Amino acid sequence: MSLKYAHDKISVEDYLHGEVLAEYKHEYIDGEVFAMAGASENHNLLSGNLFSEFKIQLKTKPCKTFMSDMKVNVEGSFFYPDVMVVCQEDNANDYYKTSPLIIVEVLSDSTRRFDKTHKLSAYQQIPSLEEYVLIEQNFCEIQVFRRQNHWQSAYYYLGDTITFASLNVTVSVEDIYYQVNNDDVTNFLQNQAQQLAN
């Protein structure tokens, strides 16, 4: 989702009150409000696929999995992660969370730099956060930053599996990219079909 400048600086209280009534979502950064543009089909599929995997595998655990309508509060700024999992009591507010264990953002051309710099830096300040996941939609690449590795990233591609240690959940990259339409997925499926035919 891309960010578009919306207003001059406003208070947190005014932002939160306005967001409950707003027709469109906005992120709040240092007193400024940014309108969020709609997401593509691939963006929705990637978010939904990983949300579903987390939701199913965490069914017997005291964790809650949220999609892009739940905000996270980071030192007075508010973002809408594409996927977020909270595994400890977090009753700060019905409309935002403060203690996620993992945050996922699906990248687009308009948000890639922001997600890889500003959000990465902001999310690292959340004491509870253990993993930050960035998913490309135009090609198949997933980058996972882990606190236990001093926020050094690891990369995953089609054919790989990812263990999200903070959740004790393992998901294949292929399942995350299920039904996504890009050249990497097309080539991967064609190669699989050829191998089965031989």
Q: How many CB atoms lie within 10 A of CB 172?
A: 15
Look at residues 21, 25, 28, 22 and name the one whose alpha carbon lies nearest to residue 36. Answer: 25
Q: What pLDDT does residue 9 have? A: 84
Residue 113's φ and ψ, nearest 5 degrees, are: -65, -40
Q: What pLDDT does residue 84 have? A: 97
| Predicted structure pTM score | 0.91
Q: What pLDDT does residue 195 have? A: 87
Q: What pLDDT does residue 1 have? A: 39
pLDDT digits over 56-101, tens only? 999 999 999 999 999 999 998 999 999 999 998 776 678 899 999 9
Q: Which residues of the chain have pLDDT under 50?
A: 1-7
Q: What pLDDT does residue 2 have? A: 42
Q: Token match 């939609």: residue?
A: 137
**What CATH architecture applies to the domain 40-197?**
Alpha-Beta Complex (3.90)
Distance CA 62, CA 10 (A): 36
Q: What pLDDT does residue 198 have? A: 75
Q: Are strands 96-97 and 71-74 parallel, antiparallel or unpaired?
A: parallel
Q: What pLDDT does residue 35 have? A: 86
Q: What angle do CA 104, 48, 84 make, to 5 degrees?
A: 30
Q: What pLDDT does residue 110 have? A: 86
